Structure 1
């Protein structure tokens, strides 16, 4: 019985790719393809290529892989290039004869620019750059999109802190990753949550910590942090009449000097919890525990709930006015809003908070599905397209230009990426590259990973 092998790279492709080796013109020798985000609301934060290379391209293809692929593909009703794959194993030891070049991970590049380019290094394997499109494009578009969304949100929060807070030092802890349970797979969590850590240092996705150690050299032992936090099961287990005791237990178990504890407080009546429990019978404990209570609403219209929660906390605990003229709760009480957060709602909530006179310093955000799951390849219109082919020693530009959709027009020729005089990256033809440095650098050549960046280095590029 066939049990399947998900690590077989030959089968990590679209079915229709299996016949493409026979579709190129006679005399084909080299094919150059590129990856770009064609459009979108966010600048590209490039991330994830190193993880893909380490996980999938560092292990050679074997004759056993070829046997398995032939069985599956022919039973699937398609042709199989057995001779080509056997030649790859015999001639190159199973490693892909490819050159993959890309911008450094963590680089911020405007949309509609090349961020990765692939070409075969052996003319016998002109069909290979296109064959790996499915796996390579997927490996780049998803983590790069998450990193781009996260970076965009970071900009919104940064602006709010600069406008309304005395300090922006806490910026990297202001957007916490709540997305692990809502992601489509553990590998999605590993890639997506790790992409978020390019910009922030708060996560509840422990898979991202494992992924950081596995794929990106760790200059520090721990790239992200979390705090003890309640969920509804641990609060409602005490019963409605025991909510005060449940809250008090959280302070007893996890409170203390310099410590933070998050308590979901909307199991029954958020306003009662704020007015009569946190700001009533447990007020002294909150004030004197020595750390910070982070109250978490988890239902209702986010902007409205956050504003009213802040106003009620201000009545119970008071506020001070900071140097920017905004109200700030005492250091021992804050709010985290983790329900209904997306790039759009984040900005709306902050606008409401600031208009009510409160500093953004009072609130932290958690983001789940809006961070890891509510993105797809069309979010930034990612594509990998062939742009040049060498036939019988002559290079030729190739491209698509559909009359029915000008937005899908592809780029021509072998490409390079340069910094313009004003510092903005721009895609040009490689033939037009003179003394200006090409921002695309070799990352993988013939089975070897040439760049092994640490997460710290990538964070610095992304403006950490």
Structure 2
């Protein structure tokens, strides 16, 4: 009977990998492969390797795993390297004889640089670095892409606050993760939202909180926060005639000194809600409740809707002018825009808001699909490629250079990552390292052991928290 064990590492690969062990040259001893983001519109923020090692590489392969994998792979029409896997269990206790070197998580560097390099530590297992490509590349490209997008958005928000607000202290709460329901699996949510939390402290993905504790040491501290919020069903359940009562109930339930809550207000007519309910019937309660009402539009063209909402709220509740010359609503009322947010629209909304004379501090953003799901491996052209092989004691370069697409040319040799005196990061061949150079690729995994175990707060600081 076939296995139902999704954590069988032997089956965590592409089918064609199972036949590669007989395809390398005779005398092969060591194979070295690297991972990079070949291109992209923003820098790489490296994240996620530690989670993968803890979840998948810290448990040894067993003879039962081998039996299960053999049944699946043979029935699938492929050859199976049973002798090789049995030797791995008998000789290494089921742990992978690999060394994985990587840049420290939270590091930010330009694309087209090596971020991870893997080589076998036992010449009997020259086929192993390539075998784990599927799992290892996937473990890195997804959380690193999400972290990179989130980091890029943080830069956009920082610039807007520096230009139009008195302080940037609220920066880490300016972009909230709304992506849980749109992600493809719970693990996707856990990894993706956690990657976002390298840069920000707001999420509605509870899975990310579990992941922070499970993989990144946040067992006692809360890494992210949220606030009570309405959805359309909790508002429309009152009926159109009861919209004011629905909003009043939110004030009663969640208002209070130092408290904040969000109310989606476009179920019927956003402008009526602002002008006649929040800014009319319930105005006095909003002004005196002691907390902060965050109004959420959820439809229409985002930049236009946010600008008009701010203008209407300014008419009803007034504004003050900050030291930068921009208008700020009273502290008890703000807006969160969570519909249609991506890096491009985020910049457009902020530009529109500031052009209308309003400070960016009036608006918080929620990002769902644009953060966790509208990404793929090609977003930053991630790839893992073999770059060197040792045959009969001699290292040889391994590379590809397709005449039909030079953009897919791969790097050659064993590599290192360095930073010069001007702070520029670059990839060089390992033999080019000088005594004064520090190789930024450090050993993270060695023969079954996690060598560097860092907390999320340390990674945050490295990323420029």
| Normalised TM-score (structure 2) | 0.99
Instruction: Report the alpha carbon displacement of residue 2 of structure 1 after superposing the two structures with TM.
Output: 3.2
**What secondary structure, in the 3-state scheme, does the structure 2 residue paired with 1:101 have?**
strand
Q: 1: CA distance between counterparts of 2:102 and 2:425?
A: 13
Report the secondary structure of 2:389's partner residue.
strand
Equivalent runs, 1:144-159 vs 2, <5 Å? 144-159=144-159
For 1:95 and 1:432, the matched residues in 2 are separated by 32
Distance 1:169 1:303 in 2: 24
**1:455 maps onto 2:456 in alignment:** yes
Counterpart residue number, 2:217: 217
Q: How far apart, CA to CA, are the structure 1 residues paired with 2:322 and 2:2?
A: 67
Over residues 20-79 of structure 1, what are the superposed CA-to-partner deviations in whole Å (9 max), with x where a residue is unaligned?
Answer: 000000000000000000000010000000000000000000000000100000000000
Distance 1:420 1:78 in 2: 48
The match for 1:371 is: 371
How far apart, CA to CA, are the structure 2 residues paired with 1:51 and 1:425?
25
Does structure 1 conserve the Cα–Cα contact (< 8 Å) formed by 2:3 and 2:68? Answer: no
After TM superposition, give the deviation of residue 221 of structure 1 in Å. Answer: 1.5
Q: How does 1:308-323 map to 2 (within 5 A)?
A: 308-323=308-323
Q: Secondary structure at the match of 2:352?
A: helix
3-state SS of the aligned residue for 1:163?
helix
Does the CA-based 8 Å contact 1:177-1:196 persist in structure 2? yes
2:15 pairs with 1:15: yes
Aligned to 1:199, what secondary structure does the other structure show?
coil
Name the counterpart of 1:286.
286
Mark the runs of 5 or more structure 1 residues left unpaired by the alignment. Answer: none
For 2:156 and 2:403, how far apart are their aligned partners in 1? Answer: 38
Partner of 2:424: 424
**Aligned counterparts, 1:53-132, within 5 A:** 53-132=53-132
Number of the residue aligned with 2:438: 437
| 1:219 positional shift | 7.1
Give 5+ residue unaligned stretches, structure 2. none
- CA distance in structure 2 between the aligned counterparts of 1:137 and 1:223, rounded to whole angstroms: 26
Structure 2 distance, partners of 1:413, 1:101, is: 15
Distance 2:326 2:433 in 1: 51
- Cα displacement string for residues 277-323 of structure 1 (whole angstroms, at most 9, x for unaligned residues): 00001000000000100000000000000000000000000011100
Distance 1:172 1:140 in 2: 24
Alignment correspondent of 1:349: 349
- Provide runs of 4+ in structure 1 moved above 3 Å: none
* In structure 2, distance between residues paired with 1:358 and 1:403: 53
CA shift digits 1:235-278 (9 cap, x unpaired): 00000000000000001000100000100000000000000000
Kindly indicate whether the alpha-carbon contact (under 8 Å) linking 2:3 and 2:72 is maintained by their aligned counterparts in 1.
no
Q: 1:248 & 1:291 partners in 2: Cα distance?
A: 14
Q: In structure 2, what is the Cα distance between the partners aligned to 1:391 and 1:272?
A: 75
Contact 2:213 2:219 in 1 (8 A): no
Measured in 1, the distance between the counterparts of 2:261 and 2:379 equals 35
Are the counterparts in 2 of residues 219 and 456 from structure 1 also a CA contact under 8 Å? no
CA distance change for structure 1 residues 84 and 438 in 2, over 3 Å: closer, same or farther? Answer: same
3-state DSSP class of the match of 1:374? coil
The CA deviation at 1:3 is 4.9
What residue is the counterpart of 1:264 in the other structure? 264
Instruction: Describe the SS at the equivalent of 1:422.
Output: coil
8 Å CA contact 1:219, 1:454 repeated in 2 = no
Distance 1:126 1:3, change over 3 A: closer
User: Separation in 2 of the partners of 1:433 and 1:87?
Assistant: 35
Distance 1:140 1:109 in 2: 15
Contact 1:39 1:112 in 2 (8 A): yes
